[in-house]
Every structure is written in C-alpha cells, then in structure tokens.
Chain A
Amino acid sequence: MKRHLISAADLSRGDALLILDTAEELASLADRPIKKLPTLRGRTVVNLFFEDSTRTRISFEAAAKRLSADVINFSAKGSSVAKGESLKDTALTLEAMGADAVVIRHSASGAAHRLAGWVRGSVVNAGDGTHEHPTQALLDAFTIRRRLKGATARGTALDGIRVTIVGDVLHSRVARSNVLLLSTLGAEVTLAAPPTLLPLAVDTWPCAVSYDLDSELPKSDVVMMLRVQQERMTAAYFPSVREYSRRYGMDTARMAKMPDHAIVMHPGPMNRGVEIAAEVADSVRSTIVEQVANGVTTRMAVLYLLLGGTEFPEVAP
C-alpha cells in the first residue's frame, strides 16, 4: 500500500481486498465487551477538519481510539485557520507536533494532495472538495460485500455486481471514489443523473452512463443515492426540486422495480423527500445505518494498515 490514502485510485485490487478483509477481522471486535485494541498505542492521529462534518469526524475518531491511538481533533473554526493561517502553516504545525497520521477534510479539491507534500506522516483524505472521499468508497464496498455475500464475503471482490449511482455526480467526491474503487473491485458501475450533473468527459470514466434511472433499476444489485446539495437547487442544474425528485428520487414505486435482493445506499446526510423517500430510507433494503457502523471498522482497517500497527487483532475472545 502507498503511504497515503488520497484517491481510491491509489488502491490496487489487492490493497482494497486487504482493507476489506482487515475490516472484517476488526468488525468481529465490535461484538466483544471490550472493543479496544492496543495496536496503535503511542501513535498520534490528527483529525484536521476544515469543513464541518460531525459524522465523518466522529467515525475517524472512534476508529483511531479503538486502536488506542492518541487523537487530536483540530477544527478550523475558531482556530488560527479562521484567522488566515495557510494550509501549509497548519501542516508545519502538525508536523512539529509529530502527527503519525493526518485525517483531512477540506472544501478545496486537492487539499489532501497538497498536505501530503508538506508532512511526513500518512495523509488520509476524508473528503476534499468535489474530488474524492476514498474511505467512504471503502465502507460502501464493505457494506455491499457484506449485504450481498454474507458469510462468504471474506476474500472476495465485487465482480459482476451491478451498482447504479444516482444524482449529482459532477460535484460528488463520493461518486468519484466509488466509481474508481468499485470498478477496481470488478463491479459494473452505472451513473444515472441529469446531463447537467455529469462531468463533460464522463465517457472517459470506467463506468456506464444513463439519463434514465427507471430503466436501470431492474438490472441493479445496488442503488446508491447521492445527496442533492442545497446550493445546486438554485443554480439551474435542474428546474425544481420537485422535478428532480420525480425523475431521480428513490421512492417506493422505484424501489419496487429493483430485484428482490437489491439494496439502497446513501452516504448521508439525507434529504428525505428529495433524493430518497422516508419509506425507502427506513426500509429493510436500506443500508444507511449499517454504512455508518461499517465506516468505523473500515477506517480502523485503513489506519491500521497505513500506520503498520504492531499487533494484529486477536479474533478469539
């Protein structure tokens, strides 16, 4: 594995499988009364969040703490960053404090990439602008594998699994990372979106493209809904929220067109009633709560593998 995890493209198929299988090992810990492992004792993980994202931050925080790492949460609000300190100076400060890993969330595409040039520790991209969010893709892949393959999941990839990703692909770091990772793992990915919300050169991506969600549903094993950001709703990407919802929202009628085994995913936070109906979000086909739980184990696996933890977790009780 590379030293940093900045893009899902950094992961070979072997790397990705190693992370997923390690996450499976770690998941079994969640059932034990004492969830903590000593593997990263004495190591420091900094959560560097320039953008509000409580759910992602606490997921990384829980992951690092369960591996016994020291965790420093650095939020840009109210810090020197708010007073105009540059990303580089923040990086040098963290460097001086001896961070072994820096988990960065930033509103600018490429921020994780830049940071990696300024610090010695490992950089984990927890979402950079409209670029990538690779640990989200890993937890999604983990969730897909577990749900669709159950006990036989371990050691297997996603060959032949058909995944449809729906919505604002143009601005979605989740979509970018998922297209790269899921295709690396052998899944057949289709993007379903209005043309305004697809990148111009999407034909160069390793996936298919459709403007018609309904025709994709019967052939999908997985339908992943993307969040519609508030700021898109007024910028002429589509005429109205109602029309978007009618054409690309997941409601019960659409869910009924999916095969019986197929699942509905959403990276959260959801706009209930816009891209996903409440009945769908709360249905048994929804994996939304599982995705959150799987986020912790997947991020534990990433930190463990990047920081080369000393003791592999004992699975026996």
Chain B
Amino acid sequence: MSDITDTNSLVTTAENPVSGIDQSSGNFKYDMTYDFDAGTGLNERTVDYISSVKKEATWLHDFRQNALKTFFSKPLPTHWATKDLENINFDKIRYYLSQGLKPKRTWDEVPEDIKRTFERLGIPEQERKFLAGVEAQFDSEAAYSNIKEAVAKQGVIFVNSTEGLREHPEIFRKYFGKVIPTGDNKFSALNSAVFSGGSFIYVPPGVKVSHPLQAYFRINAENFGQFERTLIICDEGAELTYMEGCTAPKFSTATLHSAVVELVALKGAKIQYITVQNWSSNVFNLVTKRGLAHEEAEIKWIDCNIGSRLTMKYPGVVLKGRKARGEVISIALANDGQHQDTGAKMIHAADETTSTVVSKSISVGQGRATYRGVVHIPRHLKGCKNNTECDALLINTNSRTDTYPAITVRGDRHAVQHEASVSKVSAEQIFYMQQRGLTEGQAMSLSVNGFINDLARQFPMEYSVELKRLIDLEMEGSVG
C-alpha cells in the first residue's frame, strides 16, 4: 500500500517498464531538487509553499491555512462510510507538483492493456499520449482555439483557479468557498488547503454558450490534477454546459483525487455539468460537488463513474430561489475490486422547487455499487417536489449493491417519491440474443447498454459512443 501512494508523480526507472500496473513492486525514486515540488506529506509548510509558488494574496493564504486546520480536526467519516478510507496514507501523498515537472514516461512503458483500451475506444493518437501520462499536457490549442475565441468574444471568463482568484477576484472571490464551505467535510477541507488547477468560469448575463466547454480545451491547465478546484458562475439568464473527464482510462499514478466543484446559477440561469470518470483502479476518488440555484435557475449534474478503487461523490443542488430546478443523473459501473459510492443531495430551500434524481448502477464481478442520497425539505415551504429513482443491475452471483437514501419532508404541501429496484439481466433476453447468433458476452453487453440507454442518450454524442464501447470492454469476461 505504501508503495502505491509513493508513486504519485515519481520518475520511473528503466528497470520498471510497467509502472502503473505493478506499482507495489517498483523501484521508484525521485529527485528532491525540483523547484516546484512540495514533497510528500502535509503540514503548514506544504501549504505555505503552494501559496508562495502561486504568488497568492494574503487572504487566500490564510484561507488555505485555516482549511488545513479544519482538515486535521475532522475525523474520517467512517461511521457511515466504508472503512476503506482508513487505507489512505496522507503522509505518503504528494500535494503539489508544478505542471512542467509531472513525470514523463515513454510510450513503451505504458501497459499493454491500457494501450489496447485506447485502441478499442478509438482515442486519437495525440490524446492517447496525454491520457497515458506520456505527455504532461495535451496541446489542444489548434483544435479548439476557435471555440475559445468565440466564448471570449461573448465576455466569458474561462481560466484556471490561480488565475481566476488573482486576475478576477471581484467576480470569483464572492462565491469561492461559499457553496461548499471549507468545513463541509474532511475532503473539501483538504482540497481547500492544497487545491491547484481546475476551471473558473464566469458567463455574463444572458449569454448562452452554445458549445460545451471542456476541461481539456484549455492548455497549460492542471485539469487532471489531484486537487482541482472548479467554480462556475452563470449570471442571470446565462446558459452553459461544461464537461470534464473522458471515457478513456485515466492512467494515473496518483492515489488520491479530491476535487471541489462549486456551481452558482443566478436568476434564470442554466448550468449542465457533465462528468465521465474512469480513473485507474488504485485511485481514491473523493469529490465534493454542489450547485446553488437561484430563482428559476436550473442545475443539472450528469455524472458517470466507471473507474477508481473507491469513488465517493454525491453531487448536490441547493434550491435557493423560487421555482429553481435541480437534477442529478448518475451512472455507475463497479467492476471487481471497485466500490462506487455515489448519489445525490437535493436541498430544497424555497417554494415550488423541484428536483429529480435518476441513478443507474451496474455491479460486475465482485464490484459494489452504492446509492446514497439526501432529500431535504424544511419547514414552511410549499409546492416542493422530488422524484428519485434508483435502479441497480447485478451481473454476477457475487455482485453487490446498496441503497441508502435519507428523505426528510416537513409540512403537508409537498410531494416526494423514492423508488428503487434491483434486478439481473433477464436470462430470456440473453437466450434470445444467443439464438440470433450473438455470443453470451455480446448479449450481456447489449443488455447492459440497454439498461443505461435512456441516460446515456443525454450525454454528448461522442461521449455516449465511447461510453458504449467502454461498457463492452468492461463486460468482457464477466460471463461464462
């Protein structure tokens, strides 16, 4: 275990051609003379260091230091969450390493199965190298500069967290850390102390951004960092779709990913936030995501979790203004050794607010998929509605699924409904398809794709195509 945590941003030696696969027996070493390396472990000096490298204002430095204190003071939430969290060794993690110093590995060092996956998914050559960590950045300038220019003309600010807080404090400081306060949970405190990278976006009133903005549109960004921080503000009547992640396996050597994403939709604004997460199976993915929807605003999270060892992520919407709408669409696939602990939080805080949660999970092999949710309607509101649906599909006899919703309703003027079901792939369907010449594996893939089809359709086309291919891959070898 300790060796695995060590491998975050290390230079691998030639004796270890398959780093990333057999990480427990590697002969790793790193050079401590790097300029922008905060070293391993976490203390006040680490935070001072990050803050000074980023040339941050005093208030931000203090914010980080306070967050660090909060992080140390909070216990791990193991009274309700999995005990697996105790396996995170916070002292062995590297909390900051500047972009240019990210580890380089050659294409030959990338494990065969990862290469094969890229091939099967049809990932462009250039992107493959980036995804595999061969190149520190994916130079997408040429491909996407048109979009960048177009949105800039509309007055959209699209920068990274450091730049956002340094160059546009008048816009971002007001909302920074307000939707998700530092003390929200242990991992949001950790992120607040050591965050770097991520996107800060401001969309001016009435501007409708027609193209989805993607995290890797921007160059020189630390997007896939461990502790990225994202803040998106849509001013009155503005609309934005944002996408992060990708369906290809994110071949990471870092073992802890803990992001904080805050969304603010002012009156009448619409934000759609799409995530496709496919971390490698040694990663703890502990992310806090929450949106604040003002009057008649709409926030929609589309969240797809396929990779990682443990994902804990419950995108939420605080429905603060009258007639605000919140929606979470969640797809989780848990394969052997994985635990997808995902869900949604809907906090109704105004009249006539509505929220919808649709969650579909698939457990393969010994995978474990968990839905955990909160719906809260406080006193003296009227006309609030929530509808939650959770469906779980169990593929193998030893697959596991859990559902833990918590629904609080006060008052007699609301309608709240929760439903969940668990099922397996129908043997008749499989038999029918086999009879038509499909192999059992193909039939199984087709069934699973059918199970999530109505949700997958809500993804942008290229994502949903890749998602389908990915499910085919995951389902291979799950039967027979």
A pairs with B: no
Measuring CB to CB, which residues of chain B are less than 8 angstroms from any residue of chain A? none
